[in-house]
Amino acid sequence: MPTPSAISITPSTRSASIDVRDPQFYKNPLAAYAQLHAQCPSFFWEEQQQWYFAGYDQVNSLLRDRRFGRQILHVATREELGLPEPKPHLADFDRLEANSLLELEPPAHTRLRTLINRAFVSRQIEQLKPEIAALSHSLIDGFEKDGQVELLKAYAEIVPVTVIARMLGVPVEMAPKLLDWSHRMVKMYVFNPSLETEHDANAASAEFADYLKGIIDWKRQNPADDLLTHMITTEKDGERLSDDELISTAVLLLNAGHEATVHQLGNAVRTLLETGTSAKDVFSSDTATERTIEETMRYAAPLHIFQRYALSDIELEDGISLKKGDKIGLLLGAANVDPQKFTDPLAFRPDRNEGAHVSFGAGLHFCIGAPLARLELKLSLPILFERLPGLRMTGEAQIKDSYHFHGLEKLHLEW
């Protein structure tokens, strides 16, 4: 395999230069990961000025390592760490982040996670089966006769947002607005967002929070059998969630509840079609379907990077020294194709049974929505292939120019 020009590696200094905006890289990051695995799986990323880890064992253990956290300000001040003051034009965005489960560490994290966990355990999620299947069928009813469709807009984007909105008890008619707010907010999770992105994400955060505040007030008067009502009324050790916590958690669930799953639906359909995989075979039984879903998650993961702070000065086994407050990057997408863990890792093998990928993370922040995402994929993928025999791509898939969220802009299909 020729070295992609988007990456250059200097093994002697364990450093690498990668241009994330180079289509050669973001369209096929797996090729660059293969180079990293061969030459230096732990590397100092020149453009980002911090250490990154691509090896499966390292990523998996660093995600679980309690010497690292998603947060740092619970153990040190900004002054101590030389961090800049918060940006006033991001106040609304920061307010949501400040109470977000994803950004918290114990004990605050434990309390919030315990309060919502019950709704997301597999037993509870299984009950959504008929609803998700019916939704998938009704969407296909809408375009089946056309003989063609752009999958993202008509299917992949709609299933997850509808399911999570219904779960929370947010009106499904709001789906287009929810998608809009969410897309504008998650643009912040790329490297160096522009000032325009920051202003827009802040405006979206303010509108989103305002909308949810109204819904929460309404639900207080009109409790229903939904997750938002449960979050409003539930107590732990005599304590309830504050309004800010309720709003942040609802925003996180609504955003995380669809962004990655949308991409994963698109990535999975593309993978199956491009590799000429027989849907009949890979979806022939529950076990085969589950293995196939896991292999698409390994091979075409939707989220490639998560970061952690060193909570103290740390010497890693491979001689990398970190200072308290240093950030490290964990390349989930790369860990999934580590040849030390998976045989012939760049091959898509739906019957592969070599242990877990790390696409849902690991440790304390392991994706709470994993059972839900898996169920959505397990139902809506086979239904799509069953209903539209002869499904094929028309032209190339349009890949998103965004490294962190590896997904498709568009996937045109016909049958």
Provide, rounded to whole angstroms, the least separation between the CB of residue 210 and ligand HEM: 21
Task: Select from 43, 99, 40, 66 the least CA-distant residue to 247.
Answer: 99
Out of 168, 373, 379, 391, the only residue in the binding site for ligand HEM (CB under 6 A) is 373
Residues 6+ apart with CB under 8 A from 30: 299, 333, 337, 346
- Of 111 and 199, which CB lies nearer to ligand HEM in the complex structure? 111
Beta strands 392-393 and 68-69 are unpaired
Residue 361 zone, left/alpha/beta (φ > 0; ψ -120 to 50; rest): left
Q: Is 367 in the site for ligand HEM (CB under 6 A)?
A: yes
Among residue numbers 176 through 235, which ones bind ligand HEM (CB under 6 A)?
A: none
Using the rule CB under 6 A, which residue among 253, 331, 335, 408 binds ligand HEM?
A: 253
Q: Which residue lies nearer to ligand HEM by CB, 182 or 264?
A: 264
Work out whether 371 is an interface residue with ligand HEM (CB under 6 A).
no
Q: How many CB atoms lie within 10 A of CB 257?
A: 25
Alpha carbon distance 380, 133 (integer Å): 7
Stretch touching ligand HEM by CB under 6 A, among 50-58, 172-180, 211-219, 249-257: 249-257
Residue 325 interacts with ligand HEM (CB under 6 A)?
no
**Which residues 105-144 are close enough to bind ligand HEM by CB under 6 A?**
113
**Using CA atoms, how far apart are residues 220 and 296, in angstroms rounded to an integer?**
41
Choosing from 4, 29, 55, 257, the residue that interacts with ligand HEM (CB under 6 A) is 257
Q: Which two tokens stand for residue 182?
A: 């969410």
Residue nearest to ligand HEM (CB): 369
Binder among 205, 292, 359, 380 for ligand HEM (CB under 6 A): 359
Q: Which is nearer to ligand HEM, 102 or 170 (CB)?
A: 102
Radius of gyration of the chain (CA): 21
Q: Mapping DSSP to helix (H, G, I), strand (E, B) and coil, where does residue 101 land?
A: helix
Q: What is each CA distance from 272 to 121, 154, 196, in whole angstroms? A: 28, 19, 37
In this chain, which of 365, 378, 400, 404 binds ligand HEM, going by CB under 6 A? 365
Please report how close the Cβ of residue 164 comes to ligand HEM at its closest, in angstroms. 6
What is the closest distance, in whole angstroms, from the C-beta atom of residue 196 to ligand HEM in the complex? 26
Give me the least distance between CB of 195 and ligand HEM, in Å please. Answer: 26
For ligand HEM, which residue of 139, 159, 231, 252 counts as binding (CB under 6 A)? Answer: 252
Question: Which of 101, 228, 331, 411 is the binder for ligand HEM (CB under 6 A)?
Answer: 101
Among 369, 375, 378, 411, binds ligand HEM (CB under 6 A): 369
Residue 414: name the closest of 384, 393, 397, 385 by CA: 393
When the beta carbons of 289 and 359 are compared against ligand HEM, the nearer one is: 359
Distance CA(215)–CA(149), nearest Å, equals 34
Tokens for 346, please give them.
């760049």
| DSSP-derived secondary structure letter, 8 | E
Using CB under 6 A as the binding rule, whether residue 299 contacts ligand HEM is answered as no
Based on the shown chain and the rule CB under 6 A, indicate whether residue 69 belongs to the binding site for ligand HEM: no
Q: Which is nearer to ligand HEM, 135 or 303 (CB)?
A: 303
- Shortest distance (Å) from residue 102 CB to ligand HEM: 4
Count of residues touching ligand HEM (by CB under 6 A): 25
Under the binding rule (CB under 6 A), the answer on residue 260 touching ligand HEM is yes
Question: Nearer to ligand HEM by C-beta: 139 or 381?
Answer: 381
Q: Give the chain's end-to-end CA distance (angstroms, integer).
A: 34
Give me the sign of the Cα torsion angle 386, 387, 388, 390.
Answer: positive
DSSP characters over 285-340: SHHHHHHHHHHHHHHT-SB-EEEEEESS-EE-TTS-EE-TT-EEEEEHHHHTT-TT
Q: Which residues bind ligand HEM (CB under 6 A)?
A: 63, 70, 101-102, 113, 164, 252-253, 256-257, 260-261, 264, 302-303, 306, 359-361, 365, 367-369, 372-373
